Amino acid sequence: MEPVGRRQFLAGGSAALICTLAGQKVFRDEPADVAELAGGVNVPPKVAAQQRNGQTVFASAQTKSSGTRREYWIAAEKRKWKITPRGRDQMTGQRIPGKNKFSAYTYRGYTGGFGAPLAKGQIPGPLIVANVGETIVVHFRNRLPSPTTIHPHGVHYDEEMDGAYKGKFTDPGGFVQRGQNFTYVWEAKKGTEGIWLYHDHGPLDPIPVYKGLFGPLIVRDPTKPKPDREFFVFMHALEPVATKLNKRFWCINGRAYAGNAPTFRAKVGERVAFHVISLDDHFHTFHIHGHRWKDADGTIIDTKTMGPGESFTFEFTEDNPGRWLYHCHVFSHLHQGMTGWYIVD
């Protein structure tokens, strides 16, 4: 019998092979060249027709929108990103060895007409907010080397507003090329209340997501009061295939380990909401110390398990001061970065 190499072993056990993109096998633990992969993807027929017509903004569904419009200008851009900017885990006091900086892909918010950036590109991207009954209009510009999109969860939209690559059936919104714009129009109809997410769903999915292309989307019920404090928590992994680093980082909002991951703060007496989202290939279990909440079925819990792409919200009135941990209760995820501080004054 021939000896089995490391890659063959991992691929055979489904431990490292993610998918095949542009005819090439992509492995979780080996860096991928995004520009090279993008060059091997054919331009879909509808996108090619759009280009022949000289059309750079495809927004036919705008005429169908109704009610109040919430408009956003968002670009996909590169940014150097430090996963552990402090270099230490404050929970253990230990230094975090190895490289932690990589070329991230981020969604970046702009003023109207892409006039000026509102902030640096972040992981996760800017919060998209609407009330029930409103229309969300997202003007998107791609400044990355590969076709990129924005695909939403939870809201209503027509087929061409899906933001998903579908091979030869792809609409222009599912294949926004470098330097091109697209305007997405989504409806926050009744029944869409809650916390959702948006992310890239282009032809190189999931690599751009592993590089940071995702963000929160919330649809509010305007008859209910907003909490005094609300926190948006993405539980996800940054994988070597996307970061070109030598290990996976288990992250909260693009950062790993307490003191690097977000520190959330509240005061006794405030109404607090946590919006928690899971987005990678793994199951995560959100847990917060010293607190509990009522689940959708009425059960009082302090830990909740989520699969990829799932999200939930819980609220409580703060009554317990102190420095608390929040983290994934999968122990290997916790001790490899997926933890942070919740400080109550």
If asked whether residues 13 and 62 sit together in one domain, one would say: no
Q: What is the total count of domains within the chain? A: 2
- Report how far residue 329's alpha carbon sits from residue 293's, in angstroms, rounded to the nearest whole number: 16
Q: Are residues 275 and 156 both part of a single domain? A: yes
Residue 40 lies in a domain: no
In a domain, 66, yes or no: yes
Is 336 contained in some domain? yes
Q: Are residues 5 and 51 in the same domain?
A: no
- d(CA 169, CA 337) in angstroms, rounded, equals 40
55 with 195, same domain: the answer is yes
pLDDT in the model for residue 56 = 53
The span from the CA of 245 to the CA of 229, in Å, is 35
Kindly report the CATH number assigned to the domain that includes residue 131: 2.60.40.420
pLDDT by residue, tens only, the chain of 345 residues: 344 343 333 333 345 788 888 778 888 888 988 888 888 899 999 999 988 876 655 444 444 556 799 999 999 999 999 999 999 999 999 999 999 999 999 999 999 999 999 999 999 999 999 999 999 999 999 999 999 999 999 999 999 999 999 999 999 999 999 999 999 999 999 999 999 999 999 999 899 999 999 999 999 999 999 999 999 999 999 999 999 999 999 999 999 999 999 999 999 999 999 999 999 999 999 999 999 999 989 999 999 999 999 999 999 999 999 999 999 999 999 999 999 999 999
- Give the structural domain span for 102: 46-344
**Pair 121, 253 in one domain:** yes
| Co-location of 1 and 53 in the same domain | no
Q: Answer yes or no: is 214 within a domain.
A: yes
Asked if residue 183 and residue 87 are part of one domain, the reply reads: yes
Instruction: Identify the residue whose tokens are 């926004």.
Output: 176
Q: Please indicate, yes or no, if residue 36 is contained in any of the structural domains.
A: no
- Do 6 and 126 reside in the same domain of the chain? no
Pick from 141, 127, 144, 146: which is nearest to 39 by CA? 146
Q: pLDDT value at position 187?
A: 97
Are both 54 and 5 inside the same structural domain? no
Run of H or E including 21? strand 17-21
Work out the number of other CB atoms within 10 angstroms of the CB of residue 4: 11
> In terms of domains, do 70 and 2 share one?
no
Q: Quick one: 63 and 157 in the same domain?
A: yes
- Do 106 and 11 sit in the same domain of this protein? no
Domain-located, residue 52: yes
What 8-state DSSP symbol labels residue 312? E
Per the document, the length of the chain is 345
Give the pTM: 0.92
Q: Do 258 and 339 form a contact (C-beta atoms < 8 A)?
A: yes
User: What is the pLDDT, as a whole number, of residue 53?
Assistant: 78
Residue 38 lies in a domain: no
Supply φ then ψ for residue 160, to 5 degrees.
-75, -5
Residue 160 near residue 172 (C-beta atoms within 8 A): yes
Q: Tokens 């992981």 label which residue?
A: 123
Q: What is the pLDDT of residue 5?
A: 43
* Residue-level pLDDT at 65: 55
Q: What is the spatial distance between Cα 65 and Cα 69, in angstroms, rounded to a whole number?
A: 8
Structure-block tokens of residue 218: 């919330």
Residue 269 maps to a domain: yes
Helix (H) or strand (E) holding 216: strand 214-220
- Is residue 308 a contact partner of residue 266, using CB atoms and an 8 Å limit? no
